[in-house]
Amino acid sequence: MQSSTVRYAVEDGIELVADVAGEPGAPCVVLMHGGGQTRFSWQGAMQELVKAGYRVVNYDARGHGESSWAGPGGYGLARHAQDLARVIEQEQGNEVALVGASLGGATALRLMAGGVRPSAVVLVDIVPRPDPKGVQRIRDFMLGNPDGFGSLEEVADAIAAYNPHRPRPTDSAGLMRNLRVREDGRLRWHWDPAFLGRQITVELAELHDTIKGARGAGGVPVLLIRGLSSDVISQRGLDELRDALPALEIFDVPNAGHMVAGDRNDAFNQGMIQFLAQHFPGRS
């Protein structure tokens, strides 16, 4: 798969870095990773989407990966949605589908709350009212090891403790794509620590407000891909989303937690591409 690196200038001086692949003019799919991840978490999905005839835009959210850091106060959900709108504008009016994991899915919902209607949406293990305990566990993991890591083995140990159901990788070198090296040689996650500067109650309230986006989505086809081992989607949260979106489709992935694509990339790709082929087919 041939891809090019594209940089998008958005509000408040932020530059977003993206990988773009696929034939220009083909139906476009925008990939949005979860909080604390980078665009490299979508490598497998991006490759399969290009094979299926899509143009793919896979970008690092502000404060993550190679994109600019916004600092304290710069990571509200509305700002992420504004960034997404600027990325979509670069496609010069082409219809787009959105695939968002966790924060990325919340960003898609927030964009729809503002009146934007994509051609299709895939939400990955996120609902407007997630289980606070599951969200807190993610936050605790991201706030852990504030002084960084001394080796890739330490990083792998931390991931294994958070995701005990996922097989430990035989080669930890791929982890470097989600890390940066500090001046003292220690490893830190590749995101701005200020990203977690807000109270979790504020974040959850802002996320729940995106239910307006779901109710106003009208005829937009929406798929929820859920990891059956996830502790983020409760029955209450699922019922609320289904009430707002009576035509909601659900694709369950066994033996997968919140990081569905990372846990079961094969099953995730299958569910995503089948849904898109039905509602937003690629170029044959």
CATH number for the domain that contains residue 237: 3.40.50.1820
Q: What is the pLDDT of residue 163?
A: 83
Question: CB within 8 A of 131, min separation 6: which ones?
Answer: 231, 232, 233, 234, 237
* Position 183 in a domain: no
DSSP output for 222-255: EEEEEETT-SS--HHHHHHHHHH-TT-EEEEETT
Identify the sign of the CA torsion 55, 249, 242, 244.
Answer: positive
- Could you report how far apart the first and last alpha carbons of the chain are, in Å? 17
Average pLDDT over residues 248-277: 95
DSSP 8-state secondary structure symbol assigned to residue 219 = T
Q: Report the DSSP beta bridge partners of residue 189.
A: 179
Average pLDDT over residues 153-172: 82
Residue 168, pLDDT > 90, answer no
Q: What is the Cα gyration radius of the chain?
A: 18
What tens digit of pLDDT does each residue of 37-80 get? 999 999 999 999 999 999 999 999 999 999 999 999 999 999 99
What tens digit of pLDDT does each residue of 169-187 get? 666 777 888 899 988 999 9
* Position 186 in a domain: no
Report the distance separating Cα 136 and Cα 140, nearest Å: 6
* Position 181 in a domain: no
Tokens standing for residue 217:
């989505």
Between residues 92 and 184, the one the model is more confident about: 184
* Position 88 in a domain: yes
Q: What is the pLDDT of residue 93?
A: 67
Q: What is the pLDDT of residue 91?
A: 83
How many domains in the chain?
A: 1
Q: What is the pLDDT of residue 189?
A: 93
Confidence of residue 261 (pLDDT cuts 50, 70, 90): very high
* Position 166 in a domain: no
Confidence of residue 212 (pLDDT cuts 50, 70, 90): confident
Among 35-44, 59-68, 120-129, 157-166, whose mean pLDDT is lowest?
A: 157-166
Residue 251, pLDDT > 90, answer yes
* Position 82 in a domain: yes
Report the distance separating Cα 140 and Cα 220, nearest Å: 34
* Position 143 in a domain: no
Tokens standing for residue 24:
């220009």
Q: What is the pLDDT of residue 101?
A: 97
| Residue pair 80/110 in contact by the 8 Å Cβ criterion | yes
Q: How many CB atoms lie within 10 A of CB 170?
A: 5
Question: Considering the entire predicted model, what is its pTM?
Answer: 0.95
Average pLDDT over residues 230-242: 94
Question: Residue 85 sits in which domain range?
Answer: 3-135+200-279
Question: CB within 8 A of 186, min separation 6: which ones?
Answer: 147, 148, 149, 150
Sheet with 28-32: strands ordered across: 3-9, 15-21, 55-59, 28-32, 96-101, 120-124, 222-227, 249-253
* Position 32 in a domain: yes
- The residue assigned the tokens 């909601």 is 248
